[in-house]
Chains A and B, each alone.
Chain A
Amino acid sequence: MGKIIGIDLGTTNSCVGVMEGGKAVVIPNAEGGRTMPSVVAFKKDGEILVGQLAKRQAVSNPERTVASI
């Protein structure tokens, strides 16, 4: 049987957990954070950014950044 994943897709931040040994364990992202901003951005070259990276460039690329949905 596969793993059970829980996703909290919040308006501002999102969090992901997995059931391990009967307990929910939060999965940290590559940068070590246990939550990440619920932001998605599309760069001019077509690259898609999510989370903290998307949030950092929101001011300089507002037309192509989606947040607080």
Chain B
Amino acid sequence: MGKKREPVKSDSNESPKNEPTQDPSIQYDTDLNDPNLNDPNLNDPDLNDPDLNYPNRNAPVQVDVNSCAHVAPGSAMHVDFNHEQIREQFLELSQEDLVEALVDSSCQRDNLHKKLLRSTADFDNLRKRMEKEAILLRARASEGLMLDLLEILDNFDRALAHSLTPKPSTPSPSTPKDSENLREGVGKVHKHMVDTLQRHGLQHMESQGKPFDPSCHEALFTVPIQNGEEDMVTEVVQKGYFLNGTPLRVARVGVSKLVGIEKDESLQNDDLQDDGQQNDDNTENNQG
């Protein structure tokens, strides 16, 4: 171990050298002669933050006997050693035994260091593997649903093929009877699709006539109304759906808005609101 360094002491009677001095003719923003200016503890707000496990900058750094790493107290890597006990142990040993102990400690340190590197590499590999697996999982997650939907796709193909093929026994496809048959067929396929999706957890979101809820609806436009309730869904442009209870797709809707009423009282009292009418009223009162 090297010679212990003594802390540098300053003589308070001597004038400090190389410190900036203030020119009285110049107006400074900061008082350079302020003794508290260079105190890091005073200027660091984080130091007093109880939520941060902030190590005291001025605390002496303790040397870990088993490794050469300097570990500051309060940090995550710090381990409590009873330095006094260990020091007393070593003081009793002869030089040869000390060398032996040092060699053992060095070997132990090297082994632990290698283990640490291996663990870090393992962790890194594990993380990369998990990322790859997550990507694969996401890509194949909809496999089951797709297989069921393929059956519905097949039915659409059959319906289209049937509508295009001319039948000698029936009149032209544009007769009302054929349109009705086509409509009925498409309706059945639609029901089949809805049932399949419901089996996989999909549920239609009932929005028409319900109060507007930003967690389930997205307002595309407002619908002016003379009377009735405000902020109600009056028109559904695109349906919304839940998947296993959580919104999969929000409904895109039109929202009712009352017209021809006085502004909301809460808006008039709002400091952030730039209400031109209110400012005009205040101006009139001041002038009156």
Contacts and interface: CB of A to CB of B under 8 A. Distances in A.
Interface string A21-39: 1000000000000000000
Interface centre among B51, B53, B214, B220 (most CB of A within 10 A): B214
Contacts of A44: 264, 266
A59 B222 contact: yes
Given A1-B52, A2-B53, A59-B222, 10 more contacts: A1-B75, A1-B76, A21-B127, A44-B264, A54-B214, A57-B212, A59-B221, A59-B255, A60-B255, A63-B273
B153 interface: no
Interface of A: 1-2, 21, 44, 49, 53-54, 56-60, 63-64
B235 interface: no
Contacts of B266: 44
Contacts of A54: 214
B222 A53 contact: no
Given A2-B51, A44-B266, A57 B214 contact: yes
Contacts, number: 41
A44 B212 CA distance: 13
B231 A60 contact: yes
25 contacts: A1-B52, A1-B53, A1-B54, A1-B75, A2-B51, A21-B123, A21-B124, A49-B214, A53-B214, A54-B214, A56-B217, A56-B219, A56-B250, A57-B212, A57-B219, A58-B219, A59-B219, A59-B255, A60-B212, A60-B219, A60-B231, A60-B257, A63-B267, A63-B273, A64-B267
B214 A56 contact: yes
Nearest to A20: B127
A59 B220 CA distance: 7
Nearest to B222: A60
Contacts of A58: 219
Contacts of B214: 49, 53-54, 56-57
B49 to A, nearest CB: 9
A64 B231 CA distance: 14
A56 B273 contact: no
A7 to B, nearest CB: 17
